[in-house]
Every structure is written in structure tokens, then in C-alpha cells.
Amino acid sequence: MLHEKTIDHLLTIHEIYHEPNVREYARGHEILERYQDAKLIEVVSHNQIPELFGFEGSVEDWLWNKKNVLILGTKKALSARPNTRSSHWVAPSQSNGCTMSCSYCYVPRRKGYANPITTFVNIEQIMGYLSRHAGRQGKKLLPDAIDPEYWVYEIGENGDCSADAAICNNVKDLIGLFRDLPNAKLTFATKFVNRDMLSYEPQRKTRIRFSLMPHAMSKLVDVRTTPISDRIAVINEFYEAGYEVNVSFAPVIYYEGWLDDWRKLFSEMNEVLNDEVKQQLATEIIFLTHNEPLHNVNMLWHPKAEEVLWRPDIQQVKYSQTGQRNVRYKNNLKRELVDELINLCTQMIPHCQIRYAF
């Protein structure tokens, strides 16, 4: 687990909501034993907790819940959803929710806004499903923009795996599974440095993507995350420990002087990253998408961030695949912004492959 001086400010479990049968699973028993002093609250289902879910108005408890509450349950529906961007498949999640509080994050929208970590204790079933699913895919015969050799599975869509790894060994077990699968690797993006993960021995079968943005903007919107310079500083170490290490420029937020700040970030990357890391580096570029209900909640606990996130003068409505009414930068402006950032990447970090940008 993480060194205490690193994790204490982020995660201190005082309450555990749990489904009745979690002790029947080795992982559930292990977690409950670890947090013996926590108050236990039995619930029928991990996703039916009225005091946490659909609780948009209780912003006074927002950060307390994220730091002090853990939910334990079992993942019922096991399926791998096809993907076409950073992975070929989105794996059934080993967790959802997050202890961090990035003000733009879409996960709270899916989980009733109050979204502490839910850990799924039936990890053996999840791993068994993934092993069988990868086996059915067979050998990957053609290289593509996602990976030249392997089928890639995203395991961090609904949370941050580096923080999850501070609670239990779900992430470590998954890294071990994919290390041994002959035709597949896993991937996840993170905003948190968990140095204990340097001992997991992924053997290049795990692609970790450190999310980066300019320092000043990160300090404003990346609440309770590892500082940007600290994320950059460990990239060489994670590569040396056997990870494939990529970066993720997301979300890209437009403001006065934004491109100059990205220029400074790329200069820092060039100074810190060694040549071997640079040659395997790749990124995705994802511009901000925001959401009106989340904006309304943020106005109650972090209104300063909304000055840059909520810009009706330059944003337009965009409906998501799930039918949510989101906003993004207007088409003509966004095309210009995407081109400007791609051009800057080409000039300053030409070694870094851009998988996609939108």
C-alpha cells in the first residue's frame, strides 16, 4: 500500500457501506479486516444508497464522503464493451467512483454526484471473465492506432486505478492477469502517483496514462490529485519498472494564455523524460465537455472553477451517447483549438504519437 504520508490526506476510511455477502469473498473479508475501526453499514445493493446517490444538494459533505466513505459490493453484470479510442474494450469495472474531486469529472453524473469509491470484491469472477473474453479474441493479427500487437482493455473508465490500489490488490491482480495473457494488455489513465505500483512487474503488458494539463489550471480544477510536476517526475521510473507509459492531455480547457501554458508543460516534459521513454510516448487529446447539472453542483462548493469550465459564450449543446445534455466548445472555435494544440505538439514533442484528438 501507499506510504502513509502520501495517502493520508486522500483516503481515511471511517464508514463502509457493504452488501450483505461481501465477507463471503476473500477480497471483501480482507478489506473489512484492514479497516476494522470503520463503522459498517449494511445495504441491499451497492448502487442503492439514498444518502449517497442522487444527493446533489449535500455539497457540504462532498469532500468528506470522498475521503472517508468506502462502498463494498459485487459486480453483477460482466461484459466488455467495444471501444475505438484508447482501448479495444472497456473491461467490467473492478471499482467505480473516486476519492479525488476533479471539478469537470463525468463520473459523478453517472453516480448521483456523491461518488466515493465502490470496490467490487468478486475480483476472481471479473478476472475469469476477462481471461475467457481475451481467449475468444484470438491473436491480434493487424496493428492499429490502439496497439501494434495486443488487444487492449481499459480498466479505469469509472475511477482512478492508482487510488484504488491503495485500498486493496484488485488492480495488482489485474496487472498480474494481463502480464500472463498472451494476446492482451490493459490500460488506465491516472491523476495520482502510487509508488507502490512500481513493484507490480507488469512487463510492458500494462499501459499507464498519466493525465497532464498546465500547472495553474490543474491547481484550480484537479482537486485532491497529485501535482502535475510530480506526475511527470515519475514517468521514467514507471517505464523502468516495466510499464508502457503514455500521457493523456485531458481535459484541454480554453482560457486566455492557454497555449503558452501548454508550451511550458511540453518544455518540462522534454527536460524530464529520458530518450527511451520519449520514443514510446503517445497521447490522446480530449477537449473539455461539461454538464449543466454538474455545473450547478459545482457552484455550491467550487464556483471559482466554473469561471473557466462553464462558458456559455463559447460553448454549445452536445448530447452524449447516453442522452445527457452536455456542452462543449463551439464547432468553429474547437476546430481552431484542436489544430493549434496539435501543431504545438508536433513542434515541441514530435516524438509523441497522437492517437486521437477531439
Q: Delimit the domains of the chain by residue range.
A: 4-357
User: In this model, does residue 222 exceed pLDDT 90?
Assistant: yes
pLDDT band at 183, cuts 50/70/90? very high
Assigned fold of 4-357: pyruvate-formate lyase- activating enzyme (3.80.30)
The three grid cell numbers given for residue 347, joined into one nine-digit string: 513542434
Closest CA to 206 of 235, 233, 234, 174: 174
User: In this model, does residue 4 exceed pLDDT 50?
Assistant: no
- Gap between the terminal Cα atoms of the chain: 36
Percent of the chain with pLDDT over 70: 93
User: In this model, does residue 5 exceed pLDDT 50?
Assistant: no
* Count of beta carbons in the 10 Å neighbourhood of residue 283: 22
Tens digit of pLDDT for each residue in 86-135?
Answer: 999 999 999 999 999 899 987 665 555 668 899 999 999 999 999 999 99
> Which is more confidently placed, 41 or 61?
41
* Count of beta carbons in the 10 Å neighbourhood of residue 131: 14
User: In this model, does residue 56 exceed pLDDT 60?
Assistant: no
CB neighbour list of residue 233: distance below 8 Å, 6 or more residues apart: 272
Tens digit of pLDDT for each residue in 235-253?
Answer: 999 999 999 999 999 999 9
Dihedral over alpha carbons 329, 335, 339, 342 (to 10 degrees): 50
Q: Which residues pair with 82 in a beta bridge?
A: 89
SS3 (DSSP) at 185: strand
Q: Positive or negative, the Cα torsion across 162, 167, 173, 176?
A: positive
C-alpha triplet 265, 190, 89: angle, nearest 5°: 120
- pTM beyond cutoff 0.85: yes
Q: What is the pLDDT of residue 181?
A: 98
SS3 (DSSP) at 16: strand
| CA distances (Å), origin 213, targets 226, 247, 280 | 12, 10, 20
Give, for 207, the enclosing helix (H) or strand (E).
Answer: strand 206-212
- What angle, rounded to 10 degrees, do the helices at 170-180 and 123-137 form? 20
Order of strands across the sheet with 353-357?
Answer: 81-82, 89-90, 151-154, 184-190, 206-212, 244-252, 282-287, 353-357
Give, for 356, the enclosing helix (H) or strand (E).
Answer: strand 353-357
Alpha-carbon gap, residue 33 to 167, rounded angstroms: 12
Alpha-carbon gap, residue 181 to 183, rounded angstroms: 6
Q: What is the pLDDT of residue 6?
A: 58
Alpha helices in the chain (DSSP H): 4-7, 26-34, 62-68, 107-110, 123-137, 161-164, 170-180, 215-221, 228-233, 235-240, 258-272, 275-279, 292-301, 303-309, 331-348
Q: What is the pLDDT of residue 60?
A: 61
Q: What is the pLDDT of residue 296?
A: 84
CA-based Rg of the chain, rounded to a whole angstrom? 20
Q: Positive or negative, the Cα torsion across 3, 9, 14, 20?
A: negative
